[in-house]
Amino acid sequence: MKVIVLPCDGIGPEIVAASVEVLSAADARFKLGVTYDYDSVGFDSLKAHGTTLRQEVLAKAKTYDGIILGTQSHADYPAPEKGGRNVSAGFRIGLDLYANIRPARTRPFLPSNLREGKSMDLVIMREATEGFYPDRNMSRGWGEMMPSPDMALSVRKITRHCSERIARRAFELAMTRRKKVTAIHKANSFHMTDGLFLEAVRHVAKDYPEVALDDLLVDASTAHLVREPERFDVLVATNFYGDILSDLASELSGGLGLAGSVMASDELCCAQAQHGSAPTIAGKDIANPTSMILSVAMMVRWIGDKTRHSRMQQAGDAMSAAVDKVLANAATRTRDIGGTMGCKAFAEAVAKAL
């Protein structure tokens, strides 16, 4: 298994190193034959090459089995014309990583932000290549404009093709879980765009008669996530809604630092933590690498499923189980969740548990 490693900004290098340590332990146990190549993106790339994301990095990434991408400090980048390219968006568009898969689950041994007695085990399947984001809804140019200093406009793009393929991934996933898909939309206001998305989801649903489909307005879904999270299995959503709901679900289940995330095309998978780059704690060995480690575990499992490689499937599952085993012990948690361990020590504990 060939992996390209891109540490990126803030705490990215620390949590990526932690995830590589755990993956290396999985490699030793399951004989995966993992090889690593490193390259720069983000501020390191900007300093060395004048851009946060070089086109040759994207081209090279296509030749690997998996990508490990660290966190980016996109809000601090210069303007795109000055080299400040959105790294995550560049990968999603450049490599057609249209499926942003974001699970959120409570753990009985960790506190959550849900009401007492409530639990959560769901996956948000977020379309990541179109929608309201202005850098991915035009073939040329930008999806936002200001006709005058006092007026700003934004263009949204929704296509049947992208809606159907993210819906299909959602139904495929639901078939391996509790066989329920909830489509998130606002078709009562966005009649054409969300209407098209909902129509596409319903069309795909016909191919999966064993899966129950319902739909919710995006505003109502936030209330249901808080009040009755157990009703959800797989949620499928357009880019903007999925981005917001996945942060909400992860925070409710215990925190963004505890939730994995991958971006996938039909051929390639990229592991990237759900949370941001946290530059204020970078280099202090206090970051929680759980999200990054779980993201890499998801990537390994994705590659195993795609290639029908049983040892990779087992390795991905074992990495996740090792994280839970370490988190279950209050003495081996990072300080953000009540422990005292640093980033490196936590990774060592997970690798040992594995």
Catalytic machinery residues: 133, 186, 219, 243, 247
Q: Are 24 and 301 in contact (CB under 8 A)?
A: no
Q: Are 183 and 238 in contact (CB under 8 A)?
A: no
As to burial, measured by CB atoms within 10 angstroms (0-12 exposed, 13-18 middle, 19+ buried), residue 117 is: exposed
Which H or E element spans position 94?
A: helix 87-94
Q: Which residues pair with 66 in a beta bridge?
A: 3, 269
Q: If you search the block for the tokens 């930008």, which residue do you land on?
A: 142
CA distances from 274 to 105, 172, 192, 206, 249 (A): 14, 22, 30, 32, 11
SS (H, E, C) 263-277: EECCCCEEECCCCCC
Q: Return d(Cα 195, Cα 216) in angstroms, integer.
A: 12
Q: Return d(Cα 345, Cα 350) in angstroms, integer.
A: 9
198: phi then psi, degrees, rounded to nearest 5: -65, -40
Neighbours of 164 (CB within 10 A): 16
Name 125's Cβ contacts closer than 8 Å, sequence gap at least 6: 99, 100, 101, 166, 169, 170, 173, 234, 235, 236, 237, 242
Which H or E element spans position 151?
A: strand 151-154
